[in-house]
Amino acid sequence: ALPHVAWIGLGVMGSPMSEHLIKAGYPVTGHTLEAHKLDRLAAAGGTPAASVAEAVRGADVIVTMLPADPQVEAVALGADGVLAHARPGALLIDMSTVAPRTSVALAEAAAAGGKGVRVLDAPVSGGEAGAVEGALSVMVGGTAADFAAAKPLLGTFGTTVARCGGHGAGQTVKAANQLIVAVTLQACAEAVVLLEKSGVDLATALDVLGGGLAGSAVLSRKRRNFLTREYAPGFRVDLHHKDMGIVTDAARAVGAALPLGSAAATLMASARARGDGGLDHSALLRGVELLSGT
């Protein structure tokens, strides 16, 4: 029989991801803060739970998909949390984007707990569309044996699923992902303003750019946002700002230079400061427009 899964955090990403598990036949019990998300889980064939403790008690595998480090620490380590209530030998897969050292600390806390609970970090890339389509990239840190056990489950919503190293390695790769996406988004935004101010047809320009070396997943997936100036998330500026803090800390820890990454982090912070934190991160374009007097 397929393992029983507890899913904690049914947001933009967690809802569609958990529904892929349900469709694949996994029994899923879920918990999250918004009541309407629990209703959605029930409608999809899952079982809503009133607390983390209730969700994890009977689970073989526990997945967390929460906003950031403080929520992951509270849900995993709190008195009512995962480690306190998981059954012996359960596998905790944290798919949130957090600092690599948070993933290492979780694995250490699980080992110290004496129940044989195992931990993987498994952040994802591909955005809301990737979650809905089941086409995410999943970057995993932890032991090879635990990765082998988790791989079929991760494959229900992931098309590229890879173990990148020990605990925290998945988060380090995700930090690199967020660095590349932020810098690329900013470059695309600057190109959009240059093109428009020059009177070139933007849709045509983006098409031909997409066919050459400048083409990227960022350019093609954010094309609609650039053309319409609509910034419904998607991936919120607030979350990418959080991630740029992780990138900056991770780079400082190993002495890696971030000349463009630090500029992108500043621009993400300024997007937040001007009130765009709840918008999709393609709203970096609004900052270039402001600087350009557009």
Contact 91/118 with Cβ under 8 angstroms?
Answer: yes
CA distance 36 to 43: 10
CA distance 208 to 131: 28
Of 21, 26, 30, 32, the residue at the interface with ligand NAD (CB under 6 A) is 32
Of 7, 14, 30, 105, the residue at the interface with ligand NAD (CB under 6 A) is 14
Of 2, 4, 12, 77, the residue at the interface with ligand NAD (CB under 6 A) is 12
Instruction: Give yes or no for residue 67 binding ligand NAD (CB under 6 A).
Output: yes
Nearer CB in complex with ligand NAD: 13/244: 13
CA distance 51 to 173: 31
Instruction: Give yes or no for residue 71 binding ligand NAD (CB under 6 A).
Output: yes
Q: What is the DSSP string of 28-60?
A: EEEE-S-HHHHHHHHHHT-EE-SSHHHHHTT-S
Cβ-closest residue to ligand NAD?
11
Instruction: Give yes or no for residue 103 binding ligand NAD (CB under 6 A).
Output: no
Catalytic pick from 37, 115, 174, 197? 174
Of 5, 11, 103, 146, the residue at the interface with ligand NAD (CB under 6 A) is 11
Contact 240/268 with Cβ under 8 angstroms?
Answer: yes
Catalytic residue list contains 222 = no
CB within 8 A of 118, min separation 6: which ones? 89, 90, 91, 92, 110, 142, 143, 146
Nearer CB in complex with ligand NAD: 31/286: 31
Nearer CB in complex with ligand NAD: 209/284: 284
Active site residues: 174
